[in-house]
Amino acid sequence: MHIVYLFTILGLMTQYAIGQTFEEVGLSLGVTATYDNPGQFGGGCAIEDINGDGLMDILAASGTGHPLMIYLRTGNEYTLDAGLGCGITSAAQTSQILFGDYDNDGHRDVFVGNWGSENLLFRSNGNGTYSDVTSFTGVDGGSAQTSAACWLDYNNDGWLDLYVTNYDISSAGRPDYRNVLYRNNEGVNFTDVTEQAGVADSADRAPLAVISFDFDNDLDADIYIANDRNQRGTLFRNNGDGTFSDAGDETGIEPRMFGMGCAISDLNHDGWWDLYVTNDPIGNLLFESNGDGTWEEVASQRGVTVNYGCWGTEFLDFDMDGDDDLYVANMAPPMPRDYLFENTGNGYFTDVSVAEGVNDQEMTFGFAKGDLDNDGDMDMLASNIEDRPYVYLNRSSGFNYIRVRTQGVQTNRDGVGAKVVVYAGSLVMQQFVCAGQSYASSSDPRLLFSLGTQNYADSIVVLWPSGVRDTWRNLDGNRDYVLEEGVSLDVPTLPPLTISFELRQNYPNPFNPVSTIEFQLNTPSEVELSVYNPLGQRVATLVDEPMSAGLHRVQFDGTELTSGSYVYRLTANGHSQNRVMTLLK
């Protein structure tokens, strides 16, 4: 069932060609403010429900002396707030707008990165207003030229940390313009741990975009930085001990470029993340994973080089066929038009910009995706300089969808770093919960999946950074779900979960090479106890037989395995529990 919550066709006065997927409706909705840019870089944008009314609002960066462009959804239009009501204010030249729940209170906060002025952090008060907590939390960054930022939980302690990139326009390699990793001190404030973690990067680098994702599938947060000025991109591998190593050379992701934006997707559905990086007219780059933590560059073969000065970018399934398509923002004359590429499903992309109604011929920098009208398809927001933001509503229909948000318990509240896999008939789709990608932008935090011709999802699997693995089955389509770590919510077709067993933490932990696992059965049960590596592959089956009620002990020997974290899962009478153990040799 296709449900429209916010907009109606009659409520909009703009015209679009019949058969086109997108209609640009910014003017008719009242999104009219202009970004006046005094420098060489534009800013990002964001799609977020900032006042908690269930309607997605719009934010866009602003030039020096102008407040942030904040549009609150009211009825069939947007009203310019400019921070006067909600309290999110900045009169500097803004680059990054980044939402994330740093204090785990269930209300998403916002980091605002600025060029040449102090950065700002606003804490949500939970009532549609925000308080400036910059000086208290210690993330102002001085007067550096902040170009981008991302939230991540680099030490898997359940609190979102913040990574900020700074761009030295002078090319002098100023040490005060280094990138900064701020460790979250349990939602109170932040500590600069850049040097200890090893993520300052070289002083001559010129970062313009950053994304944190788990490129090697080992359940921790790695960092990729797209660098400008013909510098190689930087890939920091998380070592799992609070430090990072530069992995660019060994992974095949280190070509020199003028990197300006980045996004990830699992394009070939192999369980590994592919990375797209926008570039100058030399051409954008698509790094396709080889399935072993290395990549091969295939943009030309896939048809997505573009060969203009490109910035913001995102993968999105605009036609709801289960394959991720691609949007690329372009600001370079003489052809500053944006590109929408359709994934043909056979490894290639086709430019369908004009055919599908993407008509932005302004100089676009930021780009965000989200379901602005809550109708179950993906809309788009592009921020331009010397012009208003463009708002594209998706007018397609006749499909089924499911939309989810992750909610961590051991993991950070937003679930940043989780992998979500949806199974629906022949479709298998996965998305990664990111907080910051594209160029300086924040997309809708809800993940949207196509269900194809089915009106339900066969199952949804979430692999959390904590190592917990949850599965929900037989979820009705065309609705929203909150997927809570360790608990299934809003799944009426599932029977109530009755816990008839307890899986206990192994001891000793960490261990080398033998550890004991205990579990308590309240009733006689068919039991399976297995161990999985960080890739989700089973490496050992310890129990697979009927067992009596009572306390049971099993020894696990990791002699043949490498050091790292492993998930052990107990399944009894159709229900499962997971725990994580660490083998340290």
**What CATH number should be reported for the domain holding residue 579?**
2.60.40.1930
pLDDT, residue 255, reads: 77
pLDDT, residue 246, reads: 92
3-class DSSP state of 364: strand
3-class DSSP state of 236: strand
In a domain, 415, yes or no: no
Domain boundary among 394, 409, 437: 394
- Looking at the structure, tell me whether residues 150 and 287 fall in a common domain: yes
Q: pLDDT per position in the chain (585 positions), as tens? A: 222 223 332 233 334 455 689 999 998 898 888 777 656 678 899 999 999 999 999 999 887 777 888 999 987 788 888 667 899 988 788 889 999 999 999 999 999 999 888 999 999 999 999 999 998 899 998 777 899 999 999 999 999 999 999 987 665 556 567 899 999 999 989 999 999 999 998 766 789 999 999 999 999 999 999 998 888 889 999 999 999 999 988 888 877 888 899 999 999 888 999 999 998 888 999 999 998 889 999 999 999 999 888 999 999 999 999 999 999 998 876 667 899 999 998 779 999 999 999 987 788 899 999 999 999 999 999 998 888 899 999 998 888 999 999 999 999 999 999 999 999 998 999 999 999 999 999 999 999 999 988 999 999 999 999 999 999 989 999 999 999 998 754 443 333 333 457 788 888 888 899 999 998 887 888 899 999 886 667 899 999 999 988 889 999 999 999 988 787 888 887 666 777 788 988
pLDDT, residue 150, reads: 97
DSSP-derived secondary structure for 394-458? E---S-EEEEEEEE-SSS-TT-TT-EEEEEETTEEEEEE--SSBBTTBB--SSEEEEEET-SEEE
pLDDT, residue 298, reads: 94
Domain boundary among 394, 409, 432: 394
pLDDT, residue 523, reads: 81
CA distance 155 to 244: 11
CB atoms within 10 A of CB 498: 8
- Looking at the structure, tell me whether residues 380 and 235 fall in a common domain: yes
- Looking at the structure, tell me whether residues 506 and 390 fall in a common domain: no
3-class DSSP state of 17: coil
pLDDT, residue 536, reads: 67
pLDDT, residue 361, reads: 79
Domain boundary among 394, 418, 446: 394
In a domain, 374, yes or no: yes
Write out the E strands in 168-255.
180-184, 190-192, 207-213, 222-227, 231-232, 234-238, 244-246
Q: How many domains does the chain have?
A: 2
pLDDT, residue 130, reads: 93
- Looking at the structure, tell me whether residues 385 and 510 fall in a common domain: no
In a domain, 486, yes or no: no
- Looking at the structure, tell me whether residues 214 and 70 fall in a common domain: yes
In a domain, 4, yes or no: no
pLDDT, residue 493, reads: 36
In a domain, 88, yes or no: yes
In a domain, 356, yes or no: yes
- Looking at the structure, tell me whether residues 512 and 386 fall in a common domain: no
pLDDT, residue 174, reads: 60
What is the CATH classification number for the domain harbouring 230? 2.130.10.10
In a domain, 470, yes or no: no
Q: Are 367 and 61 in contact (CB under 8 A)?
A: no
pLDDT, residue 502, reads: 79
Give the pairing type, strands 419-424 and 427-432.
Answer: antiparallel
pLDDT, residue 91, reads: 78
- Looking at the structure, tell me whether residues 45 and 190 fall in a common domain: yes
Pair of tokens at residue 83? 């921070």
- Looking at the structure, tell me whether residues 505 and 381 fall in a common domain: no
What is the domain range of residue 166? 22-394
Instruction: Identify the CA nearest to 94 among candidates 32, 41, 165, 130.
Output: 41
Q: What number of CA atoms fall less than 13 Å from residue 115's CA on the CB side?
A: 23
CA distance 457 to 475: 5
Question: Quick one: how far is CA 44 from the chain centroid?
Answer: 15
pLDDT, residue 574, reads: 63
In a domain, 545, yes or no: yes
Give the pairing type, strands 400-407 and 480-484.
Answer: parallel
pLDDT, residue 169, reads: 66
- Looking at the structure, tell me whether residues 369 and 512 fall in a common domain: no
249 CB contacts (<8 Å, ≥6 apart)? none
Pair of tokens at residue 132? 């400036």
